[in-house]
């Protein structure tokens, strides 16, 4: 060896590099978790988990909810991607959130910083029927709200969704997610979905494969369909003029499930498209791209 000092330096450098480099998702002999260091309210994040074969169940704990996920073999290891998020209406929300992933003897804990997101405001003068309810309507609304909450908290381990999601109607956006509305000067809940332009009676298609968990004609939302896509992801379609599926029906991505309408408390035909992940409403539009556009992307 003509240059032993050079060889030793190179060997030392390679050793330090191997010690400092992060273990990639899908390492065959340990648990690995990749996710962003922060998340904005009302936006989703994608978490990639890798685990050894035979290491099951894999469980995820998020927002005080622990659930199992179904991982698939990829070469000599298991991999699964999980969608998480925090909602818009979390009063006194924590500044940080804790993500815990467990698999067999391994456990990984990640801390994510919450980033406030300022959504636009809209001030409208509307008829009193949009702001005041009779006792009968209030009782109906509370009943329907309980049913909707239960549907949004549906949880199945098998993932049926894939990115990009299928756009349910081709029309442009008429009202953005997160819009903070004021009716006759009174603040209302932020807009929990995206309104898409659509002609009365035109097709509404499922944004991903899944199972229908709730349908009905509700006081505010009108004709409504809720679909469970697995791992806590639920899609919602409101103001429908007709519903073509029933509870328990398994649908494919892009399958026609309903028709655009103007039912419920709206002023014209359109589709309200919403997504909930573990009960938290998130902006659906970033999921129409393969990487989720921004906060949904997994950091390399």
| Domain layout of the chain by residue ranges | 23-115, 121-288
What CATH topology corresponds to 23-115? Immunoglobulin-like (2.60.40)
Q: What is the pLDDT of residue 26?
A: 43
pLDDT band at 11 (very low <50, low <70, confident <90, very high): very low
- What pLDDT score does 92 carry? 55
Question: What count of Cα atoms within 13 Å lies in the side-chain half-sphere of residue 197?
Answer: 5
Which tens digits make up the pLDDT trace of 199-226? 999 999 999 999 999 999 999 999 999 9
**Terminal CA-CA length for the chain:** 38
Q: What is the pLDDT of residues 232-274, one digit of tens each?
A: 999 999 999 999 999 999 999 999 999 999 999 888 999 999 9
121-288 in CATH: which number? 2.70.70.10
Is residue 22 within 8 Å of residue 37, measured between CB atoms? no
What's residue 89's pLDDT?
Answer: 65
pLDDT band at 290 (very low <50, low <70, confident <90, very high): low
- Name the token pair of 292: 């989720």
pLDDT score of 17 more than 60 = no
> Cα separation of 199 and 240, whole Å?
11
Mean pLDDT over 279-300 rounds to 67
The encoded tokens of residue 192 equal 């929990």
Query: How far apart are alpha carbons 10 and 3 in whole angstroms?
Result: 11
Higher-pLDDT residue of 295, 27:
27
Tokens 């029906």, located at residue: 249
User: What does the pLDDT look like over 79-134, one tens digit per residue?
Assistant: 999 999 998 865 556 689 999 999 988 999 999 998 887 778 777 777 766 667 88
In the structure encoding, which two tokens stand for residue 240, read together? 């429908």
Q: Whose CA is closest to 183, among 137, 262, 222, 130?
A: 130
Q: pLDDT digits over 166-186, tens only?
A: 999 999 999 999 888 777 777
Q: Give the model confidence (pLDDT) of 27-46 as tens digits.
A: 456 899 999 999 988 999 99
The reply to whether 23-115 and 121-288 are identical in fold is no
Q: Nearest-5° angle of CA 284, CA 50, CA 160?
A: 40
Cβ neighbourhood burial of 274 (10 Å; 0-12, 13-18, 19+) = buried
Higher-pLDDT residue of 299 and 110 is 110
Query: For residue 79, with 0-12 CB atoms within 10 Å meaning exposed, 13-18 middle and 19 or more buried, which class applies?
Result: middle
Question: Does position 298 have pLDDT exceeding 70, yes or no?
Answer: no
């Amino acid at each position: 060896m003509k240059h032993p000092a050079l060889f030793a330096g190179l060997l030392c450098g390679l050793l330090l590099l191997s010690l400092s480099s992060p273990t990639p998702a899908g390492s065959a002999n340990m648990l690995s978790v990749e996710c962003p260091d922060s998340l904005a309210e009302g936006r989703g994040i994608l978490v990639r988990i890798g685990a050894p074969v035979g290491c099951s169940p894999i469980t995820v704990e998020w927002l005080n909810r622990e659930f199992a996920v179904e991982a698939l073999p990829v070469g000599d290891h298991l991999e699964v991607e999980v969608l998480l998020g925090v909602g818009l209406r979390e009063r006194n929300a924590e500044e940080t959130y804790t993500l815990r992933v467990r698999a067999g003897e391994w456990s990984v804990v990640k801390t994510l910083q919450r980033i406030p997101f300022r959504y636009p405001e809209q001030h409208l003068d509307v008829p009193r029927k949009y702001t005041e309810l009779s006792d009968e309507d209030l009782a109906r609304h509370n009943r329907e709200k309980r049913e909707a909450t239960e549907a949004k908290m549906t949880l199945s381990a098998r993932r049926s969704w894939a990115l990009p999601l299928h756009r349910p109607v081709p029309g442009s956006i008429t009202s953005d997610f997160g819009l903070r509305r004021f009716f006759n000067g009174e603040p209302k809940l932020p807009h929990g979905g995206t309104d898409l332009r659509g002609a009365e009676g035109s097709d509404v298609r499922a944004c991903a494969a899944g199972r229908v968990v709730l349908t009905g004609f509700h006081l505010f939302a009108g004709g409504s369909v809720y679909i469970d896509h697995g791992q806590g992801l639920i899609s919602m379609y409101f103001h429908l003029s007709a519903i073509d599926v029933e509870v328990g029906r398994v649908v494919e991505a892009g399958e026609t499930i309903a028709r655009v309408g103007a039912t419920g408390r709206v002023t014209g035909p359109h589709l309200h498209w919403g997504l909930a992940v573990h009960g938290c409403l998130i902006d659906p539009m970033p999921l129409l791209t393969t990487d989720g556009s921004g906060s949904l992307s997994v950091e390399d």
